[in-house]
Amino acid sequence: MLGESLGALTLRELKNLETRVERGISKIRSKKNELLYAEIEYMQKRQEIDLHHNNHFLRAKIAETERAQQHMNLMPGNSEYHELVQPQQFDARDYLQVNGLQLNNGYPRQDQPPLQLV
């Protein structure tokens, strides 16, 4: 119904039609909102699952890296590498002296706690 045949309707019939149209629009909007909320919930759950998988992957990578470092530290001849690489001598006058105990160390947003991997 596009409204062309409304001229033959009485006032009572027009009010009845208007009420039915408004109820129909209300049901359509309700269903649309229901679908939107379901989609949002699905996306939030999917994001949570993805974050969980990413955290698991990162934990595994960290553990793998730590095992590799421990393996490298336990390898025979590892001390020879440290003997070959001599630390370079630096003149302290060439560098800025930094006091690590200073409260204002120039990092932005000090009021926020550091992020932690879970």
pLDDT score recorded for residue 118: 57
What is the per-residue pLDDT across 57-116, written as a single tens digit (0 to 9) for each?
Answer: 999 999 999 999 988 888 766 555 554 445 555 555 555 555 545 445 444 555 556 666
In a domain, 19, yes or no: yes
Considering its fold, how many domains does the chain have in total? 1
pLDDT score recorded for residue 117: 63
Which residues, at least 6 apart from 6, have a Cβ–Cβ distance to it below 8 Å? 14, 17
* Structural domain range at position 41: 9-75
pLDDT score recorded for residue 96: 54
In a domain, 53, yes or no: yes
Question: Is the confidence at residue 26, as pLDDT, over 80?
Answer: yes
Residue 76 identity: P
In a domain, 42, yes or no: yes
Distance, in Å, from the CA atom of 14 to the CA atom of 1, rounded to the nearest integer, reads 13
Question: Is the confidence at residue 36, as pLDDT, over 60?
Answer: yes
pLDDT score recorded for residue 5: 81
In a domain, 99, yes or no: no
Question: Is the confidence at residue 21, as pLDDT, over 70?
Answer: yes
